[in-house]
Amino acid sequence: MSGLAAGIRLAYYGQRVCILEKHAISGGLNSHYSKDGRRFDVGLHAMTNFVQKGVKAAPLSKLLRQLKIRYDELDLVEQSFSLIEFPGAKVRFANNFGLMAEDIAKEFPSEIDGFLKLVEHVKNYDDVSLNAQYVSSREVVATFIKDPVLLDMIFCPVMYYGSAVEDDMDFSQFCIMFKSLYLEGFCRPQIGVRHLLRILQKKFKENGGELKMRCGVKKLYKHNGRVSAVELEDGSMLEGTKILSSVGVCETYNLLEEGDKSPSKPGQLSFVETLLILDKLPKDFGRDETITFFCREDKFNYRCPKGKTHDPMSGVICIPNNFQFSDKPLEEGIVRFTSLADYNSWKDLSPEDYLAAKDVFVKDQIKHSGFADKLEGHIVYTDAFTPMTVKKFTSHINGAIYGAPGKVKDGTTPYENLYLCGTDQGFLGIVGALLSGISMANLHLLR
Ligand SMILES: Cc1cc2nc3c(=O)[nH]c(=O)nc-3n(C[C@H](O)[C@H](O)[C@H](O)COP(=O)(O)OP(=O)(O)OC[C@H]3O[C@@H](n4cnc5c(N)ncnc54)[C@H](O)[C@@H]3O)c2cc1C
């Protein structure tokens, strides 16, 4: 996504630009596939940062302007509402902020003033500064929220949708995610992520961009403080005046001839995900929410479950049917479960053990869903991905879903014509990746 967005900006300004993509389909793991006659989105739960048409000062509006995409072209549908579910407490949030404040006032009456002050603090914080140092979000948020359960509840969605750091995150990143989830909200293109990818590819090609699929980059050659050439996996060589890499910070440094030491260590946090197709709609068994972020234990742990294939005790449940479709509702019931996973527990499994371990986490996720009884006898199709799938389709070391914990916010490297964009520049999610591509192209390649 970040590569396509950067490519569109450069193509608009008449640059000769070429995108090299290792796979046959764009989007990394936030893409789509067909299997057994059905079409699926691989990753998409929701696009964050929803705003209504016409709102000008918002990340979504900014990126549409920069990419010259009309708001209506995205064909967005909004969430119904989402849910944060912890033992003994539930808080809903929706695309109007009032619902969250209302539920917090009801469930945690002594915390509502602190929460509203936190909202003001987040709104006024300079979260896009490219030079900001790491500030612990847990420490900042604890000055506003005293109840440890509410504190964890606020962090759970924000972390699941955008933290590469275990148990805590940079406060700038927290503010970006807080605004994009709680103050703006969720939507999706009606037919799924393929719609957005098609728009991006079309814009890029129409403006003269060259998209080379199945063209993995093998090595970046250095000469006099610059990257002088790019070697592809088929052995061919390319030259370019400037290179923007969206493959991750450690991964980019590993591509450099003789390897270079990355300024950040690789990420650890990966996910397993199950997709279930049902022969009935979730609303028919009482599930109206779009996304649930849950924790089934007293303490929420957002941490790599080292030594275990997965940790089913917290996670995300997405029910795509519960977006407010206008004319093209999804025909079958769909539920997706996401849980934290440890890449190292997957990487050496034999094919048989791998399949068996997949079976275990699917069953575990159903068991901890809170509506296992309602699913019984209604599952007509199951698919699942593991950290190995994340590694395959993003090339992130350890299948780290949100890349490295240390982000390179200004996108620079020691090489004067090599820059970073996307996940490891620090803007996460679909909207974040698109904005990252745009801002790095504007800052480093167009000035
Ligand atoms: C499973 C999953 C579900 C997600 N769900 C959501 C969601 O619901 N909503 C949301 O907002 N965000 C979601 N995200 C996050 C969002 O998809 C990412 O933040 C965003 O797509 C990252 O874009 P990117 O450009 O930084 O990198 P990536 O999407 O990782 O793209 C990097 C690209 O580089 C290619 N590549 C890697 N190595 C090489 C090489 N050597 N040569 C050539 N090409 C190479 C890869 O094939 C890939 O296409 C999800 C992510 C994942 C993995």
The band of 232, judged by pLDDT with boundaries at 50, 70 and 90, is very high
Nearest CA to ligand 1 atom 2: 43
Residue 249 has a pLDDT of 97
User: Mean of the per-residue pLDDT values for the chain?
Assistant: 95
pLDDT (mean) for 17-24: 95
Is the CB of residue 217 below 6 angstroms from any atom belonging to ligand 1? yes
How close is the Cα of 415 to the center of ligand 1, in Å? 24
Give the start-to-end residue ranges of the domains of the chain. 2-77+190-265+402-445, 80-184, 268-394
Is the CB of residue 320 below 6 angstroms from any atom belonging to ligand 1? no
Quick check: 132 pLDDT over 80?
Answer: no
For residue 192, give the amino acid letter.
Answer: G
Q: In the numeric block, which tokens belong to residue 150?
A: 């509410």
Residue 440 has a pLDDT of 97
3-class state of residue 142 by DSSP: helix
Ligand 1: nearest atom to the Cα of 3? 25
Nearest CA to ligand 1 atom 13: 429
Residue 258 has a pLDDT of 83
Residue 40 has a pLDDT of 82
3-class state of residue 146 by DSSP: coil
What percent of the chain lies above the pLDDT cut of 90? 88
The DSSP string of 1-41 is -HHHHHHHHHHHTT---EEE-SSSSSSTTS-EEEETTEEEE
Residue 88 has a pLDDT of 93
Quick check: 95 pLDDT over 80?
Answer: yes
Give the C-alpha separation, 316 to 374, whole Å.
18
Ligand 1: nearest atom to the Cα of 217? 42
Quick check: 38 pLDDT over 80?
Answer: yes
- The 10s digit of each residue's pLDDT in 381-418 is 999 999 999 999 999 999 999 999 999 999 999 999 99
Residue 41 has a pLDDT of 82
How close is the Cα of 439 to the center of ligand 1, in Å? 17
Is the CB of residue 386 below 6 angstroms from any atom belonging to ligand 1? no
Is the CB of residue 190 below 6 angstroms from any atom belonging to ligand 1? no
Of 3.50.50.60, 3.40.47.10, 1.10.510.10, 3.40.50.2000, the CATH number of 2-77+190-265+402-445 is 3.50.50.60
Ligand 1: nearest atom to the Cα of 45? 8
Give the C-alpha separation, 405 to 75, whole Å.
34
Is the CB of residue 29 below 6 angstroms from any atom belonging to ligand 1? yes
Q: CA angle at residue 222 from 258 to 208, to 5 degrees?
A: 125
Give the C-alpha separation, 130 to 376, whole Å.
50
Residue 141 has a pLDDT of 98
Quick check: 99 pLDDT over 80?
Answer: yes
Residue 331 has a pLDDT of 87
Residue 158 has a pLDDT of 97
Is the CB of residue 47 below 6 angstroms from any atom belonging to ligand 1? yes
Residue 127 has a pLDDT of 84
Is the CB of residue 394 below 6 angstroms from any atom belonging to ligand 1? yes
How close is the Cα of 206 to the center of ligand 1, in Å? 23
Is the CB of residue 21 below 6 angstroms from any atom belonging to ligand 1? yes
The band of 78, judged by pLDDT with boundaries at 50, 70 and 90, is very high
Higher local confidence (pLDDT), 180 or 126: 180
To test ligand 1's pocket by mutation, which of 246, 339, 434 has the most ligand atoms within 8 angstroms of CB? 246
Q: At what angle do helices 171-178 and 112-124 cross, to 10 degrees?
A: 110
3-class state of residue 340 by DSSP: strand
Give the C-alpha separation, 286 to 427, whole Å.
35
Residue 316 has a pLDDT of 98
Neighbours of 236 (CB within 10 A): 10
How close is the Cα of 26 to the center of ligand 1, in Å? 9
What percent of the chain lies above the pLDDT cut of 70? 100
Is the CB of residue 250 below 6 angstroms from any atom belonging to ligand 1? no
Is the CB of residue 41 below 6 angstroms from any atom belonging to ligand 1? no
The band of 427, judged by pLDDT with boundaries at 50, 70 and 90, is confident
pLDDT (mean) for 36-44: 82
Nearest CA to ligand 1 atom 26: 422
Residue 284 has a pLDDT of 95
* Burial (Cβ within 10 Å: 0-12, 13-18, ≥19) of residue 229: middle
Higher local confidence (pLDDT), 427 or 284: 284
To test ligand 1's pocket by mutation, which of 2, 25, 29, 334 has the most ligand atoms within 8 angstroms of CB? 29
Sequence-separated (6 or more) residues with CB below 8 Å from residue 358? 272, 384, 386
Ligand 1: nearest atom to the Cα of 46? 8
Residue 52 has a pLDDT of 96
How close is the Cα of 189 to the center of ligand 1, in Å? 17
- The 10s digit of each residue's pLDDT in 302-352 is 999 999 999 999 999 999 999 999 878 888 999 999 999 999 999 999 999
Q: Which residue is it, tokens 């980019």?
A: 252
The band of 255, judged by pLDDT with boundaries at 50, 70 and 90, is very high
Give the C-alpha separation, 311 to 68, whole Å.
42
Quick check: 433 pLDDT over 90?
Answer: yes
Nearest CA to ligand 1 atom 19: 429
pLDDT (mean) for 349-361: 97
The band of 438, judged by pLDDT with boundaries at 50, 70 and 90, is very high
